[in-house]
Every structure is written in C-alpha cells, then in structure tokens.
Amino acid sequence: MKRFFKPIEKEGSAKKPSLSPSKNGAENGDALPEVDVKKEPLKFLTWNANSLLLRVKSNWPEFSNFVSNLDPDVIAIQEVRMPAAGSKGAPKKPGELKDDTSSSREEKQ
C-alpha cells in the first residue's frame, strides 16, 4: 500500500500524557506547561474492495477525491479477491506441498 498512501511522520509519542504533575514543577510552584492532547479518531473509512488495484488504477481521481472530501482519521481496506502469492506460472492448486527445508534436502542426498 506504500504505492498509494504516503506514511505520515509522527510528531512524538501518541500516548496520553499523565495527569500527575512532574516533580520539578510541583516542588517549585511553577505553572505546568500546557500539554497538546491527541484526540481519538472520529471518522473511519472501511471498504471491502473487490480487486482494489484495478479499481484504484482505473478510477484514481475519483478515489482520491472521495478520500480527500471525507477526510477520514482511519482508513481500513480489506481485499476480498486477491490471488495468493506464488511464482508466475505455478499451478493454482498444487497437488503436493514442497518441503524445501535444509533437513529435507539432506535426506535426498
């Protein structure tokens, strides 16, 4: 998916800040600096895609416009029809799984 979406650089820890004051600020009576609180995601975009790569390639302007207009906090895409990874030309349903571990090679010699 790195081909379609650019990763967003993190601005530090996304963990919630602790509510207890720091020891240095509390002892000296200094005011604590304001903490930038991260909000929880509000908009979710989920999509059960059927051949996502073909749809995105053929309708890229429409797809990017839709995502830009919705401006989701989280995007979840589930591909429902993608062939299993394998070498080109290999049968889709091999009759026997091949064991290519070093121990199986030693036995054959």
At 13-62, the pLDDT tens digits run: 555 555 555 555 445 555 556 666 777 778 888 888 887 778 788 888 98
Contact by Cβ (8 Å): 44, 73: yes
The structure's pTM equals 0.38
Q: Which two tokens stand for residue 62?
A: 């429409």
Q: What is the pLDDT of residue 33?
A: 63
**One-letter-per-residue 3-state SS of 48-63:** EECCHHHHHHHCHHHH
Report which residue type is found at 67. V
Q: What is the pLDDT of residue 26?
A: 47
The CA-atom distances, in angstroms, between 96 and each of 49, 62, 84, 85, 99 are 31, 44, 16, 17, 9
Q: Which two tokens stand for residue 68?
A: 């830009």
The helix/strand/coil state of 19 is coil
Domain ranges of the chain: 43-83
